[in-house]
Structure 1
Amino acid sequence: MKTIEIVYVAMTCAPENSEKFGDHLQYTAGDVRKMEGCIKFDCLNSPEDTNRFVAYLEFGCRVGLQRYKRSDAADNINKWLFPMLTRSPVYRRYQAVVIQSSDNL
């Protein structure tokens, strides 16, 4: 069976960094979306608290996720975005099994 690697990261940045953080996250997501194996990279900003963000990533295989973790994009997130956070991000990694599909992702 085919599996999909899913990563969920919830982050809170300092109010003075909110706009810059969101811009950098969107820019980085654009680079990651071009990577082989990346199915999705969504960046969501909470309408109730503009300092809260969620990054949601899907990779078609474990190898794609491993490539991402070793990429310049991941390094840039650690170097440029994480210092703007007010606390450590909440990180979850899931592995989903595709049991039926109408396409060939």
Structure 2
Amino acid sequence: MKITNAVDIINEICSHLGDGWVINEKPDVELITGYYQLISAVDKNKDFSMYCCVNNGRLHIRGFVFNDVSGDNFTPALNKGALKLAEYIRKNVISQKNYLFSIFNNRK
């Protein structure tokens, strides 16, 4: 990837994820500078979001349910390109959504 701005990199990846993933301009929690919350416009992803940042040529991303239960941290290298990174994120982050919901529901 030749884009150097973190927001542009994340937006490019989001465009390949499908399901209307975008950077949340007004996240529910206060974030450290450089971190972003990704949310989906699709109802099936309601209450599931991802938090990410770009650092040292890598994307650091993790899925969350209700901003409470977190999945595994995933840190792919940016040189893979946005399309490949989107595929990795679907496989390694978004795929944990049902598992994270089951953990949340079993804690009640």
TM-score bracket for the superposition, by shorter chain length:
0.3 to 0.5
Q: What TM-score does the superposition give when structure 2 sets the normalisation length? A: 0.35
Q: What TM-score does the superposition give when structure 1 sets the normalisation length? A: 0.36
Structure showing the higher strand proportion among its residues: 1
* Structure with larger RCO (C-alpha < 8 A, sep 6+): 1
